[in-house]
């Protein structure tokens, strides 16, 4: 009984393994499951464990070759975090270092970038990392040189950005950030791993990502993404709270568009319930279209601003956790049937102009995301999509004109 509980707990932590799936595992029935005896799974060597082979085993990260080859070579993953002396990074770095992003067996080398005036603060962060004695951290590099920060990195999380200051026009903010993300895109193009996975967090995230992607022509466009997972998580949480159900029973909400107040949190394809035969569409479960089309959308759109009002500082821990969710799902895969939101390069689907960095519904497997296509777009949704598209096109125009692209 205790071992079953342990297994369920691990399933919950990693969110990829349901009780039904663990019962397929031959090791779990003979009390030899790695969930109970970490590092001792007999199936992992014989390649016979269905949970491992389908990428659903919560602990055996030795099977990650099938998911993303770089993860299995016994070397640390090199992860660059920019804005490393800032608020989000102060949560994020410690989540990465403790194994939440790449799993409890994967070593990491941290490349931390911030600007020269933050050198002393960054030194303090480095001292704290050391003091945690993290077994997974194989090295820390602190620098203000993009070349050093991006050298050979497998994952680049671009958190650092120029903050909006009092009286600053939106265009001025775009211009400042266009310069930063142009330089960082070029540096990744020249020095990062050819398969570096890039996640842009710093705002305006979609357009900053667009700039970095366009300034890194030698890297695959599909390796660039911007963070809308925080919005996705916020949408799920609002639905769970409204229905008074556990969060892990809410599935397949979608964030479309820009990480801004024009984003469109959409529940049209979402459902509630974990049993394959007992699923209720979110719309019927909530049974209040008025709330869904107004308060729900506005709450998710304005959540960032509400948190700033309450904390006098922008969301940091929840943003860091969303970064972990985003990268983990991208590299290790989304659970079967689960849709997540990622801002990625549009291929023209859903009539979104090709080349824009736009938040879409995606699934992930083998270290690649795949857009979920063919979802029905209602008239209500179309209007929302058009609004956020228009904003992104304007941002793109401004940013590209600064850069002379």
Ligand X SMILES: NC(=O)c1ccc[n+]([C@@H]2O[C@H](COP(=O)([O-])OP(=O)(O)OC[C@H]3O[C@@H](n4cnc5c(N)ncnc54)[C@H](O)[C@@H]3O)[C@@H](O)[C@H]2O)c1
The interface region with ligand X, picked from 111-119, 209-217, 357-365, 374-382 by CB under 6 A, is 111-119
Structure tokens at 47: 């390649």
The beta strands (E) that lie in 127-173 are given as: 137-143, 155-158
Whichever of 202 and 270 has its CB closer to ligand X, that residue is 202
Q: How far is the CB of 275 from ligand X (least distance, A)?
A: 32
CB 256 within 8 A of CB 384: yes
Q: How far is the CB of 112 from ligand X (least distance, A)?
A: 9
Report the distance separating Cα 226 and Cα 360, nearest Å.
Answer: 11
Q: Write the burial class of residue 6 (CB in 10 Å: 0-12 exposed, 13-18 middle, 19+ buried).
A: middle
Q: Which residues are catalytic?
A: 259
Q: How far is the CB of 22 from ligand X (least distance, A)?
A: 33
- Per-residue binding string, ligand X, 118-157, x by CB under 6 A, is x---------------------------------------
Q: How far is the CB of 105 from ligand X (least distance, A)?
A: 28
Site for ligand X in 174-193 (CB under 6 A): 180
Q: How far is the CB of 221 from ligand X (least distance, A)?
A: 19
Structure tokens at 230: 């925080």
The interface region with ligand X, picked from 39-47, 63-71, 215-223, 313-321 by CB under 6 A, is 313-321
How many residues touch ligand X under the rule CB under 6 A: the total is 28
With binding defined as CB under 6 A, does residue 88 bind ligand X? yes
The interface region with ligand X, picked from 59-67, 160-168, 265-273, 391-399 by CB under 6 A, is 160-168
Which one among 28, 82, 193, 359 touches ligand X, defined by CB under 6 A?
A: 82
With binding defined as CB under 6 A, does residue 85 bind ligand X? yes
Report the distance separating Cα 42 and Cα 44, nearest Å.
Answer: 6
End-to-end CA distance of the chain: 63
Structure tokens at 331: 């590299």
Q: Which residues of 154-178 are buried (b: 16+ CB within 10 A; e: fewer)?
A: bbbbbbbbbeeeeeeeeeebbbbbb
Q: Which residues of 286-318 are buried (b: 16+ CB within 10 A; e: fewer)?
A: beeeeebeeebbebbbebbeebeeeeeebbbeb
Q: How far is the CB of 185 from ligand X (least distance, A)?
A: 12
The interface region with ligand X, picked from 73-81, 86-94, 185-193, 266-274 by CB under 6 A, is 86-94
Q: How far is the CB of 159 from ligand X (least distance, A)?
A: 5
- Per-residue binding string, ligand X, 273-312, x by CB under 6 A, is ----------------------------------------
Site for ligand X in 9-68 (CB under 6 A): none
- Cα dihedral across residues 172, 263, 81, 91: positive or negative: positive
How far does CA 372 lie from the centroid of its chain?
Answer: 17
- Quickly tell me which residue has 């974990």 as its tokens: 274
- Per-residue binding string, ligand X, 189-228, x by CB under 6 A, is ------------xxx-x---------------------x-
Ramachandran category for residue 144: left, alpha or beta (phi over 0 → left; psi -120 to 50 → alpha): alpha
The interface region with ligand X, picked from 32-40, 78-86, 186-194, 271-279 by CB under 6 A, is 78-86
Q: Which residue is nearest to ligand X (CB)?
A: 86
Structure tokens at 9: 């707990």
3-state SS, residue 271? strand
- Per-residue binding string, ligand X, 352-391, x by CB under 6 A, is ----------------------------------------
Report the distance separating Cα 46 and Cα 32, nearest Å.
Answer: 14
Which one among 292, 319, 332, 371 touches ligand X, defined by CB under 6 A?
A: 319
Which one among 59, 155, 159, 254 touches ligand X, defined by CB under 6 A?
A: 159
Q: How far is CA 373 from CA 74, 143, 331, 376, in A?
A: 36, 41, 21, 9
Return the H-helix or E-strand segment holding 359. strand 357-365
Return the H-helix or E-strand segment holding 120. helix 119-132
Q: How far is the CB of 248 from ligand X (least distance, A)?
A: 21
Whichever of 120 and 376 has its CB closer to ligand X, that residue is 120
Residues at the site binding ligand X, with contacts judged by CB under 6 A: 82-83, 85-89, 113-115, 118, 159-163, 180, 201-203, 205, 227, 230, 259, 314-316, 319
């Amino acid at each position: 009984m205790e071992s079953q509980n342990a297994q369920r707990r691990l399933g919950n932590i990693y969110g990829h393994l349901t009780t039904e799936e663990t019962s397929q595992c031959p090791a779990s029935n003979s009390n030899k499951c790695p969930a109970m005896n970490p590092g001792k799974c007999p199936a992992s060597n014989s390649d016979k464990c269905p949970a491992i082979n389908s990428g659903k085993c919560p602990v055996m990260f030795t099977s990650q070759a099938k998911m993303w080859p770089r993860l299995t070579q016994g070397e640390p993953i090199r992860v660059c975090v920019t804005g490393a002396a800032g608020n989000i990074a102060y949560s994020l770095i410690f989540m990465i270092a403790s194994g939440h992003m790449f799993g409890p067996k994967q070593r990491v080398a941290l490349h931390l970038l911030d600007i020269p005036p933050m050198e002393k603060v960054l030194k303090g962060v480095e001292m704290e990392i050391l003091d945690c004695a993290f077994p997974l951290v194989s090295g820390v590099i602190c620098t203000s040189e993009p070349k050093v920060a991006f050298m050979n990195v497998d994952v680049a999380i671009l958190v650092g950005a120029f903050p909006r200051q009092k009286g600053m026009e939106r265009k001025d903010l775009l211009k400042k950030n266009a310069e930063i993300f142009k330089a960082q895109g070029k540096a990744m193009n020249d020095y990062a791993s050819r398969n570096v996975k890039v996640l842009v967090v710093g705002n305006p995230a979609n357009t900053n990502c667009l700039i970095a992607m366009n300034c890194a022509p030698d890297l695959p466009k599909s390796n660039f993404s911007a963070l809308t997972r925080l919005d996705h998580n916020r949408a799920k949480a609002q639905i769970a709270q409204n229905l008074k159900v556990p969060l892990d029973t809410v599935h397949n909400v979608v964030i479309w568009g820009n990480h801004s107040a024009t984003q469109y949190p959409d529940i049209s394809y979402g459902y509630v319930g974990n049993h394959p035969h007992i699923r209720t569409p979110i719309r019927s479960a909530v049974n209040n279209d008025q709330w869904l089309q107004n308060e729900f959308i506005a709450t998710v759109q304005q959540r960032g601003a509400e948190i700033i009002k309450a904390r006098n500082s922008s969301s940091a821990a929840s943003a860091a956790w969303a970064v972990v969710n985003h990268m983990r799902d991208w590299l290790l895969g989304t659970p079967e049937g689960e849709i997540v939101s990622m801002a990625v390069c549009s291929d023209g689907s859903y009539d979104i102009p090709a080349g824009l960095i736009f938040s879409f519904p995606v699934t992930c497997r083998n270290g690649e995301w795949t857009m979920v296509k063919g979802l029905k777009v209602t008239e209500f949704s179309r209007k929302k999509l058009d609004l956020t598209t228009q904003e992104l096109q304007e941002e793109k125009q401004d940013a590209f004109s600064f850069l002379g692209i």
